[in-house]
Amino acid sequence: MTERLEALLAAMKQAELGHMLIQKPKNIRYLTGYTGEGCLLVSGTGAVILTDFRYVEQASIQAPGLQVIRYDAAHPRLSEIRQQLVSAGAHKLAVEEDAVTVDAYREMLRALSGIELTAAGGLTERLRIVKGEEEIECIARACRISCQAFEKMLGVMKPGMTEREIQLELDYTMLRLGAEGLAFDTIAAAGVNGSLPHAIPGNHVVKEGEMLTLDFGALYGGYCADMTRTVAFGRISDELKNIYDTVLEAQLASLDMIGPGVVCSQVDRCAREIIDKVYPGAFGHSLGHGVGLDIHEQPGLNGRDQRELTPGHIVTVEPGVYLPGVGGCRIEDTVAITGSGYRNLIDAPKELICL
Ligand SMILES: [Mn+2]
């Protein structure tokens, strides 16, 4: 059994849970290394991967030492799970309540009658908050690839290209530099589209006098990078320059206060106060979020998260200003909290670049 499975078992014991069904693919991957479809049943006597014919061999390779049970039409998944529980004398099964649809829940109630279903979502996610050395290195590598791709894009992007062309070129560059995939759909928003925090790159042609926001990240070893840079084309107006300077000031000030023991909501407030003084209400999303196997994890740099940052946390710091009809700007780094402060995994330049 892996160290991570042992940690989950300890958490289950504390929560007085004997058996837990893991269905979220990232959680299964985190606990066992297995990346295929199926589910994972964890109990004190061991962990069992349940999957179908297509993945049986893969599961035994990726998660050596774990029992693999194959289900099919004649032996459906839920009856295999039921059999495992009955033979262990279990009367209760914890499930990830945030991963079960209403349909699936009804089916479970039917197929697992006599077994109490209880909610235990979040147990694995809580383990995933603090990253180990290997995980940090994967994220650092994903960030390095992303920064190298940005550097190359600086020599490629020019007025006359569409947002979509820039997006495709950036994606291709990350993959060519060793990304195994993209952490999320790349955002390329130019001109007035910059006021849409999650703009979909389209046929907008980039013109002189516009800013362009690129939000993107490579995937490496299953782990995500997340970075945003805003660049200018030609000469931009004083208004756009002021937006950029304000966002940069907020970003640098919040980075300045980041470190172990700092409360998440305080970092968010720091950036918000700086921006609200100049552009009240124009920074409508939270300052940042955890990053790992998922692009959005805990903890959150937002007004509600009262937890303290801890060594091993990896969070984004991404203030922005969005003015409909004018444009917008966001600057984002991904940083790892260390014992004495933080390590910025994004080393791309932040002073305004005019192309
Ligand atoms: Mn982000």
The helix/strand count (H/E) of the chain reads as 10, 19
Query: Which of these, 41, 46, 48, 49, lies nearest to 21 by C-alpha position?
Result: 41
For residue 253, what are the domain limits? 133-344
User: What's the pLDDT score for residue 199?
Assistant: 84
Alpha carbons 29 and 254: distance in angstroms, whole number: 33
Alpha carbons 231 and 353: distance in angstroms, whole number: 5
Residues 6+ apart with CB under 8 A from 24: 96, 99, 124
Query: Do 92 and 160 lie in a common domain?
Result: no
Give the CATH number of the domain where residue 48 resides.
3.40.350.10
Ligand 1 midpoint to CA 332 (Å): 7
Query: Do 105 and 146 lie in a common domain?
Result: no
Query: Do 247 and 186 lie in a common domain?
Result: yes
Q: Is residue 181 part of a domain?
A: yes
- Which tens digit of pLDDT belongs to each residue from 30-44? 999 999 999 999 998
User: What's the pLDDT score for residue 121?
Assistant: 79
Alpha carbons 95 and 121: distance in angstroms, whole number: 6
CA distances from 210 to 76, 161, 267, 281 (A): 57, 12, 30, 22
Query: Do 188 and 319 lie in a common domain?
Result: yes
Query: Do 338 and 206 lie in a common domain?
Result: yes
- Which tens digit of pLDDT belongs to each residue from 142-180? 999 999 999 999 999 999 999 999 999 999 999 999 999
Query: Do 124 and 224 lie in a common domain?
Result: no
Q: How many domains does the chain have?
A: 2
User: What's the pLDDT score for residue 93?
Assistant: 97
User: What's the pLDDT score for residue 2?
Assistant: 85
Of 128, 149, 176, the last residue of a domain is 128
- Which tens digit of pLDDT belongs to each residue from 299-334? 999 999 999 999 999 999 999 999 999 999 999 999
User: What's the pLDDT score for residue 198?
Assistant: 87
Query: Do 242 and 295 lie in a common domain?
Result: yes
Of 100, 128, 156, the last residue of a domain is 128
- Which tens digit of pLDDT belongs to each residue from 86-132? 999 999 999 999 999 999 999 999 999 999 999 987 999 999 999 99
Query: Do 77 and 165 lie in a common domain?
Result: no
User: What's the pLDDT score for residue 1?
Assistant: 74
Q: Is residue 352 part of a domain?
A: no
Q: Is residue 355 part of a domain?
A: no
Q: Is residue 138 part of a domain?
A: yes
Ligand 1 midpoint to CA 292 (Å): 11
Ligand 1 midpoint to CA 236 (Å): 26
User: What's the pLDDT score for residue 288?
Assistant: 98
Query: Do 181 and 319 lie in a common domain?
Result: yes
Ligand 1 midpoint to CA 233 (Å): 24
Mean pLDDT taken over the chain = 96
Query: Do 248 and 200 lie in a common domain?
Result: yes
User: What's the pLDDT score for residue 45?
Assistant: 85
Instruction: Indicate the pLDDT class of residue 293, thresholds 50, 70 and 90.
Output: very high
- Which tens digit of pLDDT belongs to each residue from 208-225? 999 999 999 999 999 999
Give the CATH number of the domain where residue 146 resides.
3.90.230.10
Ligand 1 midpoint to CA 211 (Å): 19
In the predicted structure, residue 351 carries a pLDDT above the cut 90: yes
pTM value surpassing 0.85 = yes
Instruction: Indicate the pLDDT class of residue 295, thresholds 50, 70 and 90.
Output: very high
User: What's the pLDDT score for residue 242?
Assistant: 97
Q: Is residue 353 part of a domain?
A: no
Query: Do 68 and 101 lie in a common domain?
Result: yes
The distance in angstroms from the start CA to the end CA of the chain is 53
Ligand 1 midpoint to CA 228 (Å): 8
Q: Is residue 52 part of a domain?
A: yes
Ligand 1 midpoint to CA 333 (Å): 8
Type of residue numbered 325: G
Query: Which of these, 238, 41, 20, 230, lies nearest to 122 by C-alpha position?
Result: 20
Q: Is residue 350 part of a domain?
A: no
Residues 6+ apart with CB under 8 A from 242: 278
**Burial profile 75-92: b = 16 or more Cβ within 10 angstroms, e = fewer:** eebbebbbebbeeeebee
Alpha carbons 168 and 185: distance in angstroms, whole number: 10
Q: Is residue 204 part of a domain?
A: yes
Of 128, 145, 170, the last residue of a domain is 128
Query: Do 94 and 238 lie in a common domain?
Result: no
Ligand 1 midpoint to CA 188 (Å): 14
User: What's the pLDDT score for residue 340?
Assistant: 96
